[in-house]
Amino acid sequence: MNKEQVTQALKKIKESSAKRNFTQSIDLIINLKDINLKKPEQVVNLYATLHYSKGKKVKICALVGPELLPQAKQVCDLAISVDDFTKYQEKKEAKKLATSYDFFIAQATIMPKLATTFGRVFGPKGKMPNPKAGCVVPPNANLKPLCEKLQKTIKLQTKNDLIIQTMVGKEDMKEEEVIDNIMTVYDSLVHNLAGGKNNIKNSYLKLTMGKPFKIGKEEVEEIEDKKEKAKKEEKQADEKKAEVPAPKKEKMPKEKKND
């Protein structure tokens, strides 16, 4: 995948999409190959930090102790004190919280209590505060830079299938920003795959209501066309050879019998 191919694919998905009464999201879909998801070391689970926003606000919830609570109330969408964890012991309330926020920041010193209260719901949904994303912080952390970074952070994860799908922008964003986001995601993924580009089967772009368009499709089709043309020419040459009649054998004159 290169910028030129991404630019062409981006152009195609916009041209082929009917006008909608809302701003559509742009999704990047990457199909993987030669990866065994039964082996934990081959499972993809990483975070990519973009240079530009995805065009959609990322909602952040902080689960903190008294040290970070005042700051968390200022910079996060929701701040929950460790003293209020009991309100979320019911699975229904924990599920509602998990589906309402994209990232959860946790104060490291209260992680055991957090795991006890939210682990059974957050764990399966992949919403537990993750150190890889910088979401587990000390009691004296500055939360503002972290929240700003999370606005441009994307999670790349394989679950049951060899596929990565993530939002990389909105159709009304500047083209160069969307392309940069796509290349950043792709490069981050390739860098973390054991086989690098050899583990990438193909990639697609799609709008919310549009059909997927293969990145680099024209190039592939051009190569296939050349192969087909070569096959046809070879076949035609063989057919012409077959049409040429074989030289007739001259009949030997019969010997006359003596009377």
d(CA 201, CA 30): 8
What is the average pLDDT across 67-73?
97
Please tell me what DSSP assigns to residue 158. -
- Confidence check: pLDDT of 191 > 70: yes
Residues 172-189: tens digit of each pLDDT: 999 999 999 999 999 999
Q: Could you give the percent of the chain with pLDDT greater than 70? A: 85
**pLDDT at position 254:** 55
Cβ contacts of residue 44 below 8 Å, gap of 6+?
32, 35, 156, 157, 158, 164, 189, 192, 193
- Classify residue 259: in a domain, yes or no: no
Q: Are 209 and 17 contacting, i.e. CB atoms less than 8 angstroms apart? A: yes
Confidence at 247, pLDDT banded by 50, 70, 90: low
Is 207 in the same domain as 98?
A: no
Domain count, the chain: 2
Q: Please report whether residue 235 resides in a domain.
A: no
Q: What is the spatial distance between Cα 130 and Cα 116, in angstroms, rounded to a whole number?
A: 16
Task: Judge whether 20 and 209 are in contact, CB under 8 Å.
Answer: yes
Does 142 reside within a domain?
yes
Residue where a domain terminates, one of 124, 150, 176: 150
Same domain, 70 and 181: no
* pLDDT tens, position by position, 85-120: 999 988 999 999 999 999 999 999 999 999 999 999
Work out the number of other CB atoms within 10 angstroms of the CB of residue 182.
25
Q: Are residues 52 and 168 in the same domain?
A: yes
Give the tens place of pLDDT for each residue, 200-219.
999 999 999 988 999 986 54
| 96-100, 115-119, 194-198, 252-256: least confidently modelled range | 252-256
Task: Say whether 48 sits in a helix, a strand or coil.
Answer: strand
Classify residue 157: in a domain, yes or no.
yes
Structural contact between residues 65 and 81, judged by C-beta atoms closer than 8 angstroms: yes
- Do the domain assignments include residue 234? no
Question: Domain ends where: 129, 150, 171?
Answer: 150
d(CA 247, CA 74): 96
Domain with 95 in it: 58-150
Tens digits of per-residue pLDDT, 16-34?
888 888 999 999 999 999 9
CATH number of domain containing 120: 3.40.50.790
Give pLDDT, residue 18: 83
Residues 111 and 76 in one domain: yes
Residue 197: which residues within 8 A CB-CB, separation 6 or more?
190
